[in-house]
Structures are given as structure tokens and as C-alpha cells.
Amino acid sequence: MTDFLLLFLPEGSNGIVQIDGDKWREQRRFALHTLRDFGVGRPLMEQMITLEVTTLINHMEKSCVLGSKSLNLCPSIAVCVGNIINNMLFGLRFNQDNQIMHRLHRLLDDQSHTVMQPIMGAYIAFPLTTKVPLINKEWKHLMEIKKELLEFLDTQIEGHRMGWREEMVEEGEPEDLTYAYMIEVEKRKRAGEDVGFFDDQQLKMLLLDLFFAGMETTVTTLKWAFLLMAKNPEIQRKVQKELDSLSQPLIEMRHRTQLPYTQATINEIQRHANILPINLLRTVAEDIEIDGYGFRKGDLIIPQISILMNDPELFENPKEFRPERFLDESMNLKRIDEFLPFSIGRRQCLGESLARAELYLIFANLMHSFCFEVEEDVTTETTYIYLIVCSSIYIFYELHFKRRRLPKGPTPWLVAGNMPSFVNMTNVDDLFQSWKKQYGGIFTVWIGPIPLVMVLKGKRWAYD
């Protein structure tokens, strides 16, 4: 994993997503405690979200009154969600017309699209390709995006340094996470303690991880939400009928138990959208044996939780959008253990409670206020395109020797590994499902010279 981090994070291993050990435990604990102090999981969180929701509704109403027949929801939703995380991280809010916020949204969108480009497979398998002219075009573009995002963070951090007051340490009530981080460092210094893994670079990368995770995933899910409602008008009417039955001007968190169909619809949106088709890479911490397969310390694995969302053994007719699958015979919300949109275990999304509240309050209130339609040519189909990567001759040794100790899986090509299987795939989950039936819940996939162990065994394995 270190090689991957050095490739994609030339500043070093920082942040919170792709670090481990004592550093990960310390920084995650700090982030969790600080976000809770700012209201995550508490009534204060609902107040912050409600403020942004009402602002969004007012903006959309004004836009509709101005005579616009169609409205691009994406930028408006991005400002709404972005303001929530920006307020927590930087004490910052933007209005709906602010070009800085729209630029940040475009950068995050562009970054998400760029990392899914086929050539990225070559950059991972063969880092030297990032130095080759013409071939490294997408890589340079990705670095430009990252540079601009980091410049935004540098501006916010510098602004906090200029606003720093020594009394903040004694006051104990920081305005945002950036000040909380600075206060934590200063407290440790004054007490003569080791500052641990707290430093300027870690602060910047922590903010980047939280900013991306707190904005992009929720915005993407909400885009799917309103697209699916527009494509399924009967379901849209059912949700609106349930919301209208409350006779409330604003939908609040306390109404959740009275809105089982709305809750079920949100669950089905998350299941159907499945916005992380390929999970984050992990490495084995120590030599271990699972199901008779031996894994050595440092082996790359992917706990492919997302495939559960489309497993026909768990969700009948998984390609069908049907909220009723999350309701029992009494029309009460039903728990399905394999429904894990926020992952599970110690690496579970630390902003889950915030994201759940955002999805519920934004979706329910916009559905309560508007009807959504979409042009006929807009589709809900997703396409994942992957690269047949080229390899050097040493792939022969990788395939010949490493395969002996890894779980069985689809036979890799000498040059490209299993990458040819991904070409022209419209849905990568279909491919994973076929391999699961053939090889079982644990199997190896080769991305060029790199073996990835896919773990599809279900809930228990996420804890292990």
C-alpha cells in the first residue's frame, strides 16, 4: 500500500482514509470527537441542515418563479451539502450563487470522473507512466485538480492562523474543526506533551479527506435520488402522499418513525445507486488464514461490500427499483443486515450519522415542496470502463509464483491480468456476481501485475 500512497499522495501518507496504525487511531478519534462537539448526532446538527434546506428551497422557488422551465439541481444541491461540511470544517457558508462553491463542486465532480478514466489503471500498475509525455495527460490533470483543492484549503488554514487568539486555548469552544485542531496542538505543547501525529500537512490532508467525503458522496446520492424519483413517478407520488399526511410545513427528524415508505425509498436509492462500486484498497495487517486461504502481511485486499447491494440472493430482482423490499408485511421499515451503504467495522464511515440526516432532511423536504421531472433521454444506467493495461515481462513471475498462495479466481492474461474482462462492462457488479458464483466469496482479481483479493463473504468478514 505504501507504493500506492507515494504515487497518489506525494506529500506522504496523511489524512484519515489511507493511513493506519497509531496515526489512524489518533486522528480518527480526534475527528470523531470534534464532529460530535459540533453537533453530529445531536439536535444542533438538525438545525444546521434545516437552515441549508430552507435556503435551498427558497432558491429553487425563486428560480422557478423566474420562468425557468428546467433547473439544474446539481449545483444547488452541492452548495446546500457543501455549506454543512464547510461550516463544520472552516466556519464558512456560501450563498447559492457563489462561484467559489460552484468551482469546488466542479473540481470534485471532475476528480471523480478523472480517477475512473481507463488510463488510471496504467498509472497504478506502472507508476513510471505518470512521467511519460502524452500518456500522462490525465495524471497531470488530476494533479492540477488536487493542487487547486489544496490551494483552497491553504487559504482557509491561513485565514485561521491570522484569526488565531491565544485565549482560544482556555475558552475551549472552537468555532470549527480547523481551530479545534490548532487548539489541540497548542494544548499539548503547553503541557509539554508530544504532539503525536498532529502537524500542518496532516491538518491539510485531514481537511481534504473530510471535505471530499462530507460533500461528494452525499451530493452524488442526492443526484441519484431525484433522478430516480423523476424516472419513477408512481413511487414519487407515494412518497409525497406520505409526506403530505403529516400536514407539517417542514419535515423534521422526529417525523422519521411516521414515514416508513420515505425511509424505505431512501434506503432503496442508496442500494440502487451503489455509488462506490469498487471499495477502497486495504492491506492485511498480519499473516492470517481465512477459509483455508493464507494471507500474508501487506497483501492487498478489497472488502467488496458494495456487491451485497446487488446480490440476487439477498435482494430479489436487484436491478428493479422497489422501495417495498425494505418494508415488512405491516408496512414498517425492515432491517436488512446486508444493507451496508456506509461500510462496517472500525473503518466504517465516521460521518454516517451526518450523511443519514442530510439525505433524509434534504430528500424529504424537497419531495414535500416540489415534483420532479426529467428529460426522456436521461438514463439511470451506469457504465464502468476499465483499461487493458500493458505490463513488463516480470508479470510472468508475478502470475506464476504469487498465484500459488492466493485464493483461486479468474485466470489472468499474461500481460493484462483480468483487465480484459472489465472492458465494455455496463455494470461491474454483474461481473463480480458471476465470479462469486464460480469461485466463492473470496477470490483473486489481477489488475495488470497487481493481485487484489476480493472479499464478498458478507457482514462477518468486514469485522475480521
- Kindly state whether residue 21 falls inside one of the protein's structural domains: yes
Residue at 402 is within a domain: yes
Alpha-carbon separation of residue 118 from 215, 381, 388, 389 (angstroms): 25, 19, 8, 9
Q: With a cut of 70, which residues of the chain have pLDDT below it? A: 1-12, 66-69, 118, 121, 125, 277-278, 377-405, 414-416, 423-427, 448-449, 456-464
- 421 and 363 inside one domain: no
pLDDT at position 425: 60
Query: In terms of domains, do 248 and 285 share one?
Result: no
* Alpha-helix residue ranges (DSSP H) falling in 245-351: 260-273
Same domain, 376 and 386: no
pTM, two decimal places: 0.81
Q: Within a domain: residue 59?
A: yes
Structural domain count of the chain: 2
Spatial distance between the Cα atoms of 70 and 92, rounded to a whole number of angstroms: 29
pLDDT of 3: 44
Identify the domain boundary among 337, 357, 380.
380
Same domain, 289 and 226: no
The whole-angstrom separation of Cα 300 and Cα 303 is 10
- 390 is known to lie in a ligand binding site: no
Alpha-carbon distance 39 to 47, whole Å? 9
Q: In the prediction, which pLDDT does 183 show?
A: 95
Q: Are 290 and 306 in the same domain?
A: yes
Do 411 and 265 share a structural domain? no
| Integer Cα distance of 363 and 77 in angstroms | 10
pLDDT for position 392: 31
pLDDT of residue 415: 58
Check whether residue 83 and residue 209 sit in a common domain.
Answer: yes
The pLDDT of residue 410: 86
Contact assessment for residue 464 and residue 286, using Cβ atoms and an 8 Å cutoff: no
**Of 72, 57, 456, 137, the residue nearest 279 (C-alpha):** 456
Domain identity same for 8 and 94: yes
Domain, as residue range, for 416: 280-310+381-464
How does 28-61 read in b/e, with b if 16+ C-beta sit within 10 Å?
Answer: bebbeebbebbbbeeeebbebbbebbebbbebbe
In CATH, what number is assigned to the domain containing residue 89?
Answer: 1.10.630.10
Query: Is residue 369 located within the same domain as residue 463?
Result: no
Determine if residue 303 is left, alpha or beta; phi over 0 gives left, psi from -120 to 50 gives alpha, anything else beta: beta
Strand partners, 413: 417
The per-residue pLDDT for 391 is 30
Residue pLDDT, tens place only, 279-312: 777 778 888 887 777 778 877 777 777 778 888 8
**55 belongs to a structural domain:** yes
What is residue 20's predicted lDDT score, i.e. its pLDDT? Answer: 83
- Scan for cell 474482462, then name that residue: 421
Measure the CA–CA gap between 116 and 387, rounded to whole angstroms: 10
User: Are 130 and 36 found together in one domain?
Assistant: yes
Q: Are residues 356 and 415 in the same domain?
A: no
Q: Which amino acid is at 383?
A: T
Judgement on whether residues 261 and 184 belong to the same structural domain of the protein = yes
Domain annotation covers residue 388: yes
Residue 374 included in any domain: yes
Residue 121 CB partners (closer than 8 Å, separation 6+)? 386, 387, 389, 419, 447, 448
| Structural domain includes residue 31 | yes
